[in-house]
Chain A
Amino acid sequence: MRSPSSLKQEFLKRWMRGLQRCTSSKKDMNVLERKKVIKLSADLAIASARNGTTSWSRALIANASRDNDNRILAERILGPESDILIKRVSTSVGTVSCNRKIRSKKILKRSCNSVRRVRKGTHLPQKVLAKSIAKRLVQKRTQILKRLVPGGEFMDELSLIEETLDYIAYLRAQVDVMRCIASATELINHD
C-alpha cells in the first residue's frame, strides 16, 4: 500500500485543485452548496488519484457524474482529464451490471442451498444450525458492508474485502487532512 503521507499529499493536491477550479466560477454559495462542493471535490480527488484502478473509485466517479447537476461540477473539478476518466468509468459500469446478474443468481442459489441444508440437518440440529446461523450473520454483515463501500454491491466477497481495505485507507487520509485544515482555519478565524 502506498504510504499514508504520500496518500495525503496526493489527496490534498488534487482536492485543492478541484476546489479551486470549482469555486473560481461561482462566487457566492450557501453553506450547503459549499459543503457539497467540498465533499465532492474531496471524493473526486482521491478517486482520480486511484485512476480507476479500484472499483470504489470508479463507482464514486460514476455516482458523481450520474446526476446532471453534479455532473457539470464533477467535470469541472476533474479538469482536463475528466473525459478520459469518465469514459473509463462508464465502460467499467457495464461490466458491473453484468456482474449484478451473476451475483443475484448466485445469491439465489446460495440461499436455496442453505435452506436445504438446514432442513436436512435435523439429525444434529445444534451444530449444523450453529454453522448456518453464523453464516447468515456473516452474510448480513457483508451486505451492510456492500452498501457502505461505494460500488460494492455487485462485487464478490474477495474483491469486496480488497476494496474495503483501500477505501478505509483513503477515508483515513481524507479525515486527517480535512481535520488539519478545519482546525487551522477555525483557529485563525476565531482570533
Chain B
Amino acid sequence: MEPNLGTIVRSISIGPNREETGLESLQFREEIHRLMTVPPENGSSFTELLQLPETQAMELLHSAHSDEVVPVPLSGEPLHGINDDHKSYLPSFNGNLTFPSNKVLIERAAKFSVFASGEHSPETSSVPSDSSANLEKVKSEPAETDSNPNSSQLLVSDPAVNIKNQRSEKRKEREKKGKGCTKKSKIEISQDAEKLPYVHVRARRGQATDSHSLAERARREKINARMKLLQELVPGCSKTFAMQISGTALVLDEIINHVQSLQRQVELLSMRLATVNPRVDFNLDSLFAPESGSLADSNFHSMVSPLLWPEIPFNGNRQQHQQQWNFDALHRPLWGREEDNHTFITMENSLLNYESANSASLHSNQLKMEL
C-alpha cells in the first residue's frame, strides 16, 4: 500500500500534473453539480473529508489508489472533457471488459486513464497481483464494486449504469485526491492511519460521506457477501459467470423459488405421512409383539401382522425392504406407543446410519436388541 501511495503522491506533485488535476477537479465539480443531486457536498467534499476521522479519509484516498494500480487496457482516449456524454465511453469499455471482478476495476482504471492520460503511465504497471492484494486489504471494495453490477445489472444498459456509477465515484475521489495533493502533510498522516485496521468503505457519489452513510455502505457490502453465499447454496445459481449477469434481483428470484418449493414439499410430505399412518399403527404392534413380550399391551388391534412378519427374517433377499422396514419400525412407535426415549434415540441413530448406507442385517439386529 505504501509504495503505491508514495508513487501516486509523487506523480501528483509533478508540476504540470498538478494543474491538470486542478483543471480536472474543476471539471469534476461541474460534472458533479450537473449530474447529482447533492450539490453542497461537491464544493465542500474535501472539507467533509477533513472532518471525517482520519481513518475514513484514508479509506477514500485508499480506494482511489487501488484503482490506479489496476492495469489500463485502454489506450487513454485523450478526452479530458468529463462533461462529454458518457455513452462515448461505452464502446471502448465494452470492448475491453474482462470477467469477472476485474471488469469493474478496469473500467475505473479506464476512467482514470481518460481523465489524466499521462499521469498514470508509471502506475499502470499491470500488476493484477498487486491489485488483488489491494483487494484483499480493502476487502469491502470488490464487494462494493460487485454490488454496483449486482444491483443495477438487469438491463442491457447496465454496463452504462455501472460505468456511470464508478466513473462518478472515481471522479469524486479524484477530486478529493486532487485537493489532497496540495496538502501533503494530510496524506502523510493518512499514511499512518492507513495501517490501522478498519472497515474500508467507499463513499458513494451522491451520498453524504458522514459515518451514517458509510455504515450503510459497509452494511451493503455485508449483504452482498451473504448474497453470494446464498447463491452458492441455492442450486442452479452458483456459476461465477452468472454472478455478474444475474444481479441481486435474479438471485433473489432463485432464492424465493427455492424456498417456496421446499416449503411446498414439506407440506406435501407431511400430507403423505399423515395418510400413510393408519396402517402403520397396526403394523407396529404386530411387529413388536412377537419380539418382546413387554409390548403386548398394545393400544391397537394387531392387524396385518402376517404381512410384516415374512419380511423380518429376510436378510439378503430384499435388503432394501428390510432397511426400510427398519425405518418404518422406527416411525411406528410414534403412533400411540409409549416407549423409552433412549431406545427411541438409539433406534433413530441406527435409522440415520442407514441413511448413510450401512448394512441391513446390522440394523435388524440392532433393532431387535434395542427392543
Q: Which residues of B contact A (CB under 8 A)?
A: 34-35, 37, 151-155, 157-158, 160-161, 164-165, 219, 222-223, 226-227, 229-230, 233-234, 247-249, 252-253, 255-256, 258-260, 262-263, 265-267, 269-277, 279-280, 283, 299, 307-308, 311, 321, 324-325, 327-328, 330-331, 333-339, 341, 344-345, 348-349, 351-352, 355-356
Contacts and interface: CB of A to CB of B under 8 A. Distances in A.
B279 A131 contact: no
A35 B271 contact: yes
A23 interface: yes
A141 B155 contact: no
Interface residues of A, number: 67
A23 B352 contact: no
Interface stretch (A8-16, A64-72, A92-100): A8-16
A121 B35 CA distance: 8
Contacts of A144: 252, 256
Contact of B37 (A116, A133, A162, A165): A116
A185 B262 contact: no
Interface of A: 5, 8-9, 12-13, 16-17, 19-20, 23-24, 27, 31-32, 34-35, 38-39, 42, 116-117, 120-121, 123-124, 126-127, 130-131, 133-135, 137-138, 141-142, 144-145, 148-149, 156-158, 161-162, 164-165, 167-169, 171-172, 174-175, 178-189, 191
20 contacts: A5-B356, A8-B355, A9-B352, A13-B345, A23-B334, A34-B274, A38-B270, A134-B151, A138-B151, A148-B259, A167-B259, A168-B262, A174-B266, A178-B266, A179-B265, A182-B272, A184-B324, A185-B277, A188-B283, A189-B280
Given A141-B252, A165-B229, A171-B262, 7 more contacts: A39-B266, A117-B37, A148-B256, A158-B223, A161-B223, A161-B229, A165-B233
Nearest to A9: B352
Contacts, number: 202
A168 B258 contact: yes
A135 B252 CA distance: 12
A137 B339 contact: no
A180 B327 contact: yes
Contact of B355 (A38, A169, A180): A180
Nearest to A175: B265
Contacts of B222: 158
Given A131-B152, A188-B324, A137 B249 contact: yes
A151 B333 CA distance: 33
Contacts of B249: 134, 137-138, 141
Contacts of B157: 126-127, 130
**4 nearest A-B pairs in the assembled complex, by CB-CB distance:** A184-B327, A35-B274, A141-B252, A34-B274
Contacts of A8: 352, 355
A187 B325 CA distance: 9
A42 B152 contact: no
A174 B264 CA distance: 12
A13 B154 contact: no
A149 B255 CA distance: 11
Contact of B339 (A20, A131, A184, A187): A20
